[in-house]
């Protein structure tokens, strides 16, 4: 009976989201109605302390700071110069600028924390050059959409902060845990481009750039690398918390923006307004998620689901395989943040009860969210790269172009299942 009630509430919440009701409203309605149904109107008295506690959580201060960090680097033109520098080094590989797309997305992801921002920024810089040089549109859009997903795996990542907040896990360890998988997935994407380019028999390569010019171009890679080093170094060595490391990153980004000559009142105004909009949306959703969590905790939903899954006799491996299918289907209809806040309160207690490492599970959830970004019909990165393409082609180019990368993500998830140390080794040595 409990499972039926849980299923009905979950379907109702998904239904409200799919008809266009805001995510936060959908979750809050289910949480409040469920709480009142179980405990009556006095349940409302317990909501205010929860919301107050969430909005006063120091950890969540890092969200607007990381969003602001990405905005500053985006608006200062650092991404343009970074792309030019990487193209000088990666352009000679079979596949040419497609490798530069992945490399630039990975490097920008190390400062942005947002997949959509990563795909949009690098895509805006890259697509005119790709079209001018005759690169296939399908391969170009696919590499940009897939490369953009690295924004939530390579730290810092807003989605890791959301996971850590909902599950009370260390944000620093989650960030550190994402480094090795992020770099390996970047390498897998580039390996696919290399193999597919050679197999096509028409591998595009960029002209050789003289070595002195390539060395001089490295100066454009300094800003993102320094910001990444400051943020992750301060976390790894225990010098700063997640919020403090984000503040240090913002200070460094302001310095690089000033050095580029772009720091002015208008740029700051644009960055602050965009940061306020994005952060407000995320924090409102987190508050609604905690209302839903309160109902789930008080009504014993998580315990009931855990007992039900245990009764099925699933092992931890069986559960993760089932969740891959579950998230693959869910990602076709929901955006990343919706997937996280709607499912983590249910799936996390079950996974932990079966002995899954909480930090490993966080990286798994992020990988599944990445997959959702490039699975139609609601893959956000597909719409982003399609929206910035200069011609008037259909979105099917982005969908088919990203399909091989979706397969790579699934295979990569199976890899970290077989070798969990790829995720857990680095945070264990913090």
pLDDT on residue 226: 93
pLDDT surpassing 90 at residue 32: no
pLDDT on residue 1: 45
Which pLDDT band holds residue 187 (cuts at 50, 70, 90)? Answer: very high
pLDDT surpassing 60 at residue 2: no
* Sign for the pseudo-dihedral over CA of 112, 116, 117, 123: positive
Question: At 215, which helix (H) or strand (E)?
Answer: helix 211-217
- Are 103 and 182 contacting, i.e. CB atoms less than 8 angstroms apart? no
Distance CA 170, CA 160 (A): 10
Collect contacts of 320-323 with beta carbons under 8 A, ≥24 apart: 320/351, 320/356, 320/364, 320/417, 323/347, 323/351, 323/364, 323/368
Where in the sequence is the domain holding 403, given as residue range(s)?
A: 2-428
pLDDT on residue 291: 83
Question: DSSP string of 44-104?
Answer: GGGHHHHHHHHHT-GGGGHHHHHHHHHHHHHHTTHHHHHHHHHHHHHTTSTTTHHHHHHHH
How far CA 127 is from CA of 115, 122, 197, in Å, comes to 17, 8, 18
pTM: 0.85
Among the listed residues 155, 200, 201, the one whose alpha carbon sits nearest the alpha carbon of residue 174: 155
**Considering its fold, how many domains does the chain have in total?**
1
pLDDT surpassing 60 at residue 335: yes
Which DSSP letter does residue 206 get?
P
pLDDT in tens, 239-269: 888 889 999 999 999 999 998 888 899 999 9
pLDDT on residue 7: 62
How far CA 359 is from CA of 171, 366, 373, 422, in Å, comes to 9, 11, 22, 12
- Are 409 and 185 contacting, i.e. CB atoms less than 8 angstroms apart? yes
pLDDT on residue 236: 83
Which DSSP letter does residue 393 get?
-
Section 20-40 average pLDDT: 80
- According to the per-residue pLDDT averaged within each range, which of 127-131, 253-257, 279-283 is highest? 253-257
Section 117-124 average pLDDT: 85
Section 398-410 average pLDDT: 94
Which pLDDT band holds residue 144 (cuts at 50, 70, 90)? Answer: very high
- Are 409 and 371 contacting, i.e. CB atoms less than 8 angstroms apart? yes
HSE (side-chain half, CA atoms, 13 Å) at 87: 19
pLDDT on residue 410: 94
Distance CA 374, CA 354 (A): 30
pLDDT surpassing 80 at residue 3: no
State the average pLDDT for the chain: 86
């Amino acid at each position: 009976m409990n499972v039926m009630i849980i299923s009905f509430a979950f379907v109702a919440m998904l239904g409200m989201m799919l008809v266009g009701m805001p995510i936060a409203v959908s979750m809050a309605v289910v949480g409040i109605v469920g709480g009142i149904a179980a405990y009556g109107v006095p349940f409302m008295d317990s909501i205010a302390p929860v919301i107050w506690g969430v909005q006063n959580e120091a950890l969540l201060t890092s969200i607007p700071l990381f969003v602001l960090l990405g905005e500053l680097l985006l608006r200062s033109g650092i991404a343009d110069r970074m792309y030019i520098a990487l193209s000088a080094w990666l352009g000679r590989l079979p596949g040419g600028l497609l490798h530069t797309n992945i490399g630039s997305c990975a490097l920008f992801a190390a400062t942005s924390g947002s997949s959509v921002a990563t795909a949009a920024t690098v895509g805006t810089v890259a697509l005119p050059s790709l079209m001018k040089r005759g690169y296939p549109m399908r391969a170009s859009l696919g590499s940009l959409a897939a490369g953009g997903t690295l924004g939530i795996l390579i730290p810092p990542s807003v989605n890791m902060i959301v996971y850590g907040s909902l599950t009370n896990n260390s944000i620093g360890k989650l960030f550190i845990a994402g480094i090795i998988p992020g770099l390996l997935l970047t390498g897998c994407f580039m390996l696919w481009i290399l193999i597919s380019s050679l197999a096509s028999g028409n591998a595009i390569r960029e002209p050789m750039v003289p070595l002195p010019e390539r060395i001089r171009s490295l100066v454009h890679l300094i800003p993102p690398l320094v910001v990444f080093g400051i943020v992750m170094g301060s976390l790894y060595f225990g010098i700063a918390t997640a919020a403090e490391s984000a503040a240090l990153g913002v200070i460094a980004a302001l310095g690089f923006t000033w050095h580029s000559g772009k720091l002015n009142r208008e740029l700051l105004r644009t960055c602050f307004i965009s940061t306020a909009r994005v952060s407000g949306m995320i924090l409102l959703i987190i508050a609604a998620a905690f209302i839903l969590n309160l109902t789930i905790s008080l009504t014993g939903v998580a315990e009931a689901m855990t007992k039900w899954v245990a009764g099925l006799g699933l092992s931890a491996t069986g559960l993760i395989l089932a969740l891959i299918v579950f998230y693959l289907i869910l990602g076709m209809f929901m955006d990343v943040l919706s997937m996280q806040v709607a499912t983590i309160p249910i799936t996390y207690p079950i996974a932990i009860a079966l002995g899954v490492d909480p930090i490993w599970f966080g990286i798994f959830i992020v990988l599944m969210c990445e997959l959702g970004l490039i699975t139609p019909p609601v893959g956000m990165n597909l719409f982003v790269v399609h929206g910035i393409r200069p011609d008037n082609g259909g979105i099917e180019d982005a969908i088919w172009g990203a399909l091989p990368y979706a397969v790579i993500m699934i295979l990569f998830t199976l890899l970290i299942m077989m070798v969990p140390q790829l995720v857990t080794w680095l945070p264990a040595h913090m």
